């Protein structure tokens, strides 16, 4: 891809982007949120048309008009947004558009067998007839990957394929990617997780503000240099620790139980950042959803500043000053077809309305304040949420919750899909909330992040609290893992 340009109304998504891929290599594409990574991929795979520049595949110019055409051209893609059809089975999704047939009939047996093999390679042991809607987010992500593998592509494009995966699942995926590389398949790998990039990539291309600024072998970058090239400044300490001073108990959870969660009790102080660690499926998200009233609890009580609060729904949680930033922004947070500004305003309307009238001017000025503080990259407050880059969608949700002025702020995987610079800003912000005397709870799968910013870490295992790390400053990742497994 040479000299690719792409404009959207009010935004130059790509100014001069170039990218080349060799057969049999894993080539990472990195850059800040909104740098243009997904747009470049969408142009390559026929989702969008470039305004300038050329694309060649094996030396011949190509220009796909649709993803289906790209797939016939042996280019398979895993997009940042899920594209599976929830009501269909895993098997049907895997072979959608290229169903196997035998003498004119759908060969579902043949499909099942092949599907089973591909899924097993990824370490996913599920019934291939399960509807996709019943799978967890991680399982759905693996099915997306499996679908690309099923298509015998020569080029495999992956836009943040690991964002929803556990370390074990990432390992399994990387083994498969290495095998594919040996078979001569070229892979484009987009991720905000630098550890993964250094582990899997043969080469790295850095995109900044829609322009390619470097392409080198992975061994020619240090972590610091890569960060600097991406964000245009140096970040000395990736995990800034706030000078928190935990005060009185703010939140107390007693004997919480429902579903897999059993007998979870803990306290969190005002001014304290409490981390919750654990493997995928350990019940971390379930616990915070119970506190937030998003699911019904079977037992237990939630106390705020020593007072029992009745929370039966998120609405009641918000009214009591508890907010939750969900891990899955696509299905639980954003209304993609609505303007960014309306997404921001959603739970906050009462704050700005007087006698039933919404104070639009106030809403807008609050929104713009967050856009500046969080460095949300947006061309216009009316821009649809779906047209924001993945990381900027995440920031939009954060802005929304900051505005509710809650006393208990719960983050579930707050840095998923956001770039190193924005992660840094997010940590500062989490610290700032604690310094304001709020209770801050952070659920995360990124152990360095929890160890770097929390005052205390609770570790969950199979729906229960397995232990607690109080001496976070001297704790190691292994200490947390030992409790988690």
Residues at the interface with ligand ATP (CB under 6 A):
8, 11, 13, 31, 33-39, 80, 377, 387-392, 419
Question: What is the gyration radius of the CA atoms in the chain, in angstroms?
Answer: 23
Residues binding Mg ion: number (CB under 5 A): 3
For the CB of residue 60, give the shortest distance to ligand ATP in the complex, in Å: 26
The reply to whether 36 sits near Mg ion by the rule CB under 5 A is: no
Q: Which does 35 bind (CB under 5 to 8 A by kind): Mg ion, ligand ATP, none?
A: ligand ATP
Which one, 35 or 122, has the nearer CB to ligand ATP?
A: 35
Q: How many CB atoms lie within 10 A of CB 45?
A: 23
Q: Which is nearer to Mg ion, 80 or 326 (CB)?
A: 80
Nearer residue to Mg ion within complex by CB, 111 or 159 = 159
Strand partners, 457: 275, 469
388 binds, among ligand ATP, Mg ion, none (CB under 5 to 8 A by kind): ligand ATP
Q: For residue 380, how many other CB atoms are within 10 A of its CB?
A: 11
250 to 46, 103, 439: CA distances (angstroms)? 52, 68, 6
* By CB under 5 A, residue 38 contacts Mg ion: yes
CB nearer ligand ATP, residue 33 or residue 71: 33
Contact window for Mg ion (CB under 5 A) among 324-332, 345-353, 385-393, 456-464? 385-393
Which of Mg ion, ligand ATP, none binds 77 (CB below 5-8 Å, type-dependent)?
none
Q: How far apart are CA 394 and CA 367, in angstroms?
A: 15
Q: β-pairing, 101-102 with 75-78?
A: unpaired
Cβ 36 to ligand ATP shortest distance, Å: 4
Residue 386 near residue 340 (C-beta atoms within 8 A) = no
Nearer to ligand ATP, 37 or 366 (CB): 37
Q: Residue 357 is inside which H or E element, if any?
A: strand 357-358
Q: Closest distance between ligand ATP and the C-beta of residue 226, in Å?
A: 15
Q: Which residue of the chain is nearest Mg ion when measured via CB?
A: 38
Q: How, if at all, do strands 273-278 and 456-461 pair?
A: parallel
39, interface contact from Mg ion, ligand ATP, none, CB < 5-8 Å by kind: ligand ATP
289 with 309: CB under 8 angstroms? no
Look up residue 324 and give its two tokens: 């939750």
C-alpha torsion 279→420→335→360, nearest 10: 130
- Report in angstroms how near the CB of residue 30 gets to ligand ATP at its nearest: 9
* CB closer to ligand ATP, 348 vs 392: 392
| Cβ at position 6, least distance to ligand ATP in Å | 8
| Cβ closest to ligand ATP, residue 74 vs residue 387 | 387
Answer whether 434's CB lies under 8 Å from 426's CB. Answer: no
Cβ at position 418, least distance to ligand ATP in Å: 7
Residue among 438, 436, 434 at smallest CA distance from 454: 434
Buried b vs exposed e over 329-339: b needs ≥16 C-beta within 10 Å? beeebbeeebb
Instruction: Find out whether 273 and 290 touch, Cβ atoms under 8 Å.
Output: no
What residue 348 binds from Mg ion, ligand ATP, none (CB within 5 to 8 A, per partner kind)?
A: none
Q: Residue 391 binds which entry of ligand ATP, Mg ion, none, with Cβ cut-offs from 5 to 8 Å by kind? A: ligand ATP
Buried b (16+ CB within 10 A) or exposed e, 443-457: bbbbbebbbbbbbbb
Scanning residues 57 to 86, which ones bind Mg ion (CB under 5 A)? 80
For the CB of residue 293, give the shortest distance to ligand ATP in the complex, in Å: 30
- Nearest residue (CB) to Mg ion, 80 versus 285: 80
CA distance 239 to 235: 9
Q: Which does 31 bind (CB under 5 to 8 A by kind): Mg ion, ligand ATP, none?
A: ligand ATP
Task: Answer yes or no whether residue 390 interacts with Mg ion by CB under 5 A.
Answer: yes
Cα gap 450→457, rounded to integer Å? 7
Q: If DSSP codes are grouped into helix, strand and coil, which group holds residue 181?
A: helix
Which residue, 191 or 343, has its beta carbon nearer to Mg ion? Answer: 191
Q: Which residues bind Mg ion (CB under 5 A)?
A: 38, 80, 390
């Amino acid at each position: 891809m040479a000299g690719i340009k792409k404009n959207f109304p009010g935004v130059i998504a790509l100014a001069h982007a170039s990218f080349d891929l060799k057969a049999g290599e894993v080539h990472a594409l990195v850059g800040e949120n909104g740098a243009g990574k997904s747009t470049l991929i969408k142009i390559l795979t026929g989702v969008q048309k470039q305004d300038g520049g050329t694309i060649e595949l094996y030396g011949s110019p190509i220009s796909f008009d649709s993803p289906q055409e790209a797939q016939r051209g042996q280019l398979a893609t895993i997009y940042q947004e899920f594209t599976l059809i929830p009501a269909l089975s895993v098997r049907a999704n895997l072979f959608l558009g290229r169903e196997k047939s035998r003498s004119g009939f759908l060969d579902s047996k043949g499909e099942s067998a092949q599907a089973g093999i591909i899924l097993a390679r990824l370490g996913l042991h599920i019934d291939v007839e399960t509807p996709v809607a019943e799978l967890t987010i991680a399982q759905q992500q693996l099915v997306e990957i499996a679908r690309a593998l099923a298509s015998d592509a020569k080029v495999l494009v992956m836009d943040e394929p690991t964002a929803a995966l556990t370390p074990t699942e990432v390992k399994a995926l990387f083994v498969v990617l290495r095998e594919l590389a040996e078979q001569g398949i070229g892979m484009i790998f987009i991720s905000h997780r630098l550890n993964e990039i250094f582990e899997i990539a043969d080469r790295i291309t850095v995109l900044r503000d829609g322009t390619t600024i470097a392409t080198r072998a992975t061994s020619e970058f240090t972590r610091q240099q890569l960060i600097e090239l991406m964000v245009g400044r140096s970040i000395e300490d990736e995990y800034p620790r706030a000078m928190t001073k935990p005060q009185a108990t703010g939140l107390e959870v007693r004997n919480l139980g429902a579903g897999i969660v059993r007998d979870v009790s803990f306290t969190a102080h005002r001014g304290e950042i409490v981390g919750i660690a654990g493997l995928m499926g350990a019940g971390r998200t379930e616990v915070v959803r119970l506190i937030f009233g998003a699911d019904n609890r079977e037992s237990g009580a939630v106390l705020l500043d020593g007072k029992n609060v009745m929370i039966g729904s998120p609405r009641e949680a918000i009214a009591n000053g508890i907010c939750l930033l969900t891990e899955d922004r696509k299905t639980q947070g954003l209304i993609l077809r609505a303007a960014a500004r309306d997404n921001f305003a959603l739970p906050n309307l009462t704050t700005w309305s007087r006698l039933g009238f919404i104070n639009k001017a106030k809403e807008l000025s609050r929104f713009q304040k967050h856009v500046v503080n969080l460095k949300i990259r947006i061309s216009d407050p009316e821009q649809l949420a779906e047209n924001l880059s993945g990381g900027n969608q995440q920031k939009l949700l954060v802005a929304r919750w900051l505005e509710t002025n809650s006393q208990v702020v719960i983050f579930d995987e707050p840095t998923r899909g956001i770039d190193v610079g924005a992660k840094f800003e997010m940590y500062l912000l989490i610290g700032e909330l604690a310094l304001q005397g709020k209770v801050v709870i952070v659920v995360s799968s990124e152990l360095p992040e929890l160890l770097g910013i929390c005052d205390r870490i609770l570790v969950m295992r199979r729906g229960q609290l397995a232990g607690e790390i109080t001496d976070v400053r001297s704790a190691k990742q292994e200490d947390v893992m030992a409790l988690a497994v």
